[in-house]
Amino acid sequence: MWDDLKRLAAAREERRIEALFAEDADRAARFSVEAGGMLLDFSKTQLDDEVLEALLALAEAAQVAPRREAMFAGAKINETEGRAVLHTALRNLDGAPVLVDGTDVMPEVLATLGRMEVLAEEIRASGVTDVVNIGIGGSDLGPKMGTIALAPFHDGPRCHFVSNVDGADIADTLKLCNPASTLFIIASKTFTTIETMTNAKTAWDWLESKGQTTEGKFIALSSNQAKAAEWGIPETRVFGFEDWVGGRYSMWGPIGLSMMIAIGPDDFRAFLRGGMEMDAHFRDAPLAQNMPVMLALVGMWHNQVLGYTTRAVLPYDNRLARLPAYLQQLEMESNGKGVSMDGADLTVTSGPVVWGEPGTNGQHAFYQLIHQGTRVVPCEFMVAARGHEPELRHHHELLVANCLAQSEALMRGRSLDEARGKVAGKFEGDELERQARHRVFPGNRPSTTLVYASLDPQTLGRIVALYEHRVFVEGVILNINSYDQWGVELGKELATALGPMVSGAQSAEGKDGSTRQLLTFLSQNV
Ligand code: F6P
């Protein structure tokens, strides 16, 4: 099937995307899907009916639909860890039963949500000025991204996020906090992550050094309740979740507590509702009208078929500044794998490198390469119809115009003739030719655009769930396990071994020459 797709791609090498619009007046509508008040337009790509049919056949052959049902039904699709994958249960607000090993998990999920809501309200009303979420990876990126995204809904205490083991992170954060009115949330699924545990201990010591009691100042969010108890955090302040919630899929449950404290339980529920709506769409819509499926297939056409190995996520929404970082973990930790479920080598490329920055900032940084570099970078634009600053409507109009201009420019490009026209009169002869060539844009560069009414909690929920399901579909088609992350282990093991060598407690004998040289230079310059 991949060979068929590659043949289709080769036959389209010379074809311009613009020509597709000229041939088909309905192209924009036919190569778009709508869901939950959002429009995903993928018409500015090389997709045509034949390619679409082949991509859909790929999804059918990979059994996307039955495997999707298996996920929602609590089957242990995380095969290397023997776990179900049920972050969807965390937003299943109507409480319809979800069975894991024959037990309905929903009463527990909803009870935990209820407890979170009570505590969040209590904290919001308590005079706490600062909440510091200490976590990393999935225990940081989601709530941090969401809290920034929903700034207009933020009416609770200030929220800070400390993740890096670099002492600069916590030191800079603590400088902003009043020890008497600061609350710490230790967010760690395992409660063993070295960065988080180190930062949590520093926070504990800081409170004590400021003459404050630590009692009532710490909350734990973890699957490892025993470890949380070892920290002396009372049960009422521990919020657990099961091993069927992956770290990078966990912002919907207890890991989202900081965000809930920031925006309040009602808005947090709206976020969950948005995710739940996207779940219903993903389960019910036919593959060709299914937004996560189409986003996945377009991505795979670009990456696995056309060989464009990176994709840029470009939100024209400043408050989605951390979305690219969030998606880096979601997509790259999930689908950056070289072996399939059965342990065989993948025969196609794994998931792409995901990167990006909000527009319009990116335009003044790396868009040069996107437009004229030799690599093609498929771009995923997103923009709201409405900003949250009605008095600054002209800003929003400029933002939208820039977003649309970029996808148009990427597609159209500028021919040598057009470029000559731009410099005619300023230069002549060979110099005109040379100058014109610098102003050529190859064009024919693909992009998708996601448009939504406004970035509110429900919309954010839809967007996050959209990307989660996209990752699922890509994983199913690649036949990999999107829910483990063995690739992060080796570095952690080596860091543990290197610790005593960095401190000088142990010799670096046996290490490679480069590592020894680096250790020596570092120790000489401490
Ligand atoms: O980097 C690996 C990882 O396990 C991520 O998957 C996870 O989100 C992060 O570390 C943090 O883990 P924990 O929540 O257990 O501290």
Q: Is 121 a catalytic residue?
A: no
* Domains of the chain listed by start with CATH number: 2-61+285-412+446-482 (3.40.50.10490), 90-262 (3.40.50.10490), 489-524 (1.10.1390)
- Out of 195, 277, 333, 357, pick the active-site residue: 333
Residue 467 CA, ligand 1 centroid: distance in Å: 19
CB-neighbour burial class of residue 139 (10 A; exposed 0-12, middle 13-18, buried 19+): buried
What's the pTM?
Answer: 0.97
The alpha carbon of 448 and the centre of ligand 1 are apart by a number of angstroms equal to 30
| Ligand 1 binding residues, C-beta < 6 A | 136-139, 188-190, 193, 196, 247-248, 333, 485, 488
182-187 and 218-222 strand pairing? parallel
- What is the percentage of the chain residues whose pLDDT exceeds 70? 100
CA 485 to ligand 1 centroid distance, Å: 9
333 tagged catalytic = yes
pLDDT for residue 194: 96
Number of Cβ within 10 Å of residue 39's Cβ equals: 16
Task: Single out the residue of 292, 29, 258, 296 nearest to residue 124, CA to CA.
Answer: 258
**Tokens 């995901």 sit on residue:** 354
Counted residue by residue, the chain has a size of 526
Ligand 1, atom 10, lies closest to the CA of 137
Q: How far apart are the first and last CA of the chain?
A: 57
**Given this model, what pLDDT does residue 67 score?**
97
Q: Which residue has a Cα nearest atom 2 of ligand 1?
A: 488
The SS3 call for residue 241 is coil
What distances in angstroms separate CA 483 from CA 84, 333, 408, one per listed residue? 9, 8, 36
With bands split at pLDDT 50, 70 and 90, how would you rate the model's confidence at 446?
very high
Probe ligand 1: pick from 164, 189, 241, 489, max atoms within 8 Å of CB? 189
Contact present, 336 and 351 (Cβ < 8 Å): yes
Q: Which residues of 396-419 are buried (b: 16+ CB within 10 A; e: fewer)?
A: beebbeebeebbebbbbbbeeeeb
Max CA distance (Å), the chain: 81
| Residues 424-442: tens digit of each pLDDT | 999 999 999 999 999 999 9
Amino acid at 226: A
Q: Mind listing the pLDDT tens digit for each residue in 493-512?
A: 999 999 999 999 999 999 99
Q: Tell me if residue 469 is catalytic.
A: no
Q: Evaluate whether 262 touches 457 at the Cβ level (below 8 Å).
A: no
Both tokens assigned to 119: 């505590």
- Each residue's pLDDT tens digit, 357-397: 999 999 999 999 999 999 999 999 999 999 999 999 999 99
The confidence band for 162, taking pLDDT boundaries of 50, 70 and 90, is very high
Residue 358 to residue 345: CA distance in whole angstroms: 36
Q: What is the pLDDT of residue 224?
A: 92
Cα→Cα distances 237→109, 222, 410, Å: 16, 11, 51
Residue 348 pLDDT class (50, 70, 90 cuts): very high
Determine the Cα–Cα distance for residues 253 and 344; give it in Å rounded to an integer: 34
Residues 430 and 442: beta-carbon distance below 8 Å: no
What CA–CA distance (Å, rounded) separates 256 from 464?
13
Structure tokens at 484: 């483990």
Look at residue 419 in the predicted model and tell me its pLDDT: 98
List of residues 6+ apart from 53 with CB closer than 8 A: none
The alpha helices in 62-193, defined as continuous H runs, are: 64-72, 106-124, 141-149, 167-174
Closest ligand 1 atom, residue 485 Cα: 6
Q: Which residue among 164, 485, 489 has the greatest number of ligand 1 atoms within 8 angstroms of its CB, and so is best to mutate?
A: 485
Mean pLDDT (whole number) for 146-156: 98
With CA atoms as reference, report the closest residue to 334 among 87, 148, 145.
Answer: 87
Note the pLDDT of residue 192.
94
Least confident of 70-74, 183-187, 222-226, 465-469: 222-226
DSSP state of 487: G
Residue 425 neighbours by CB under 8 Å, 6+ apart:
none
Which of 133, 161, 162, 190 to mutate for ligand 1's pocket (most ligand atoms within 8 Å of CB)? 190
When the pLDDT of each residue in the chain is averaged and rounded to a whole number, the result is 97
Ligand 1 atom closest to the CA of 222, numbered from 1: 14
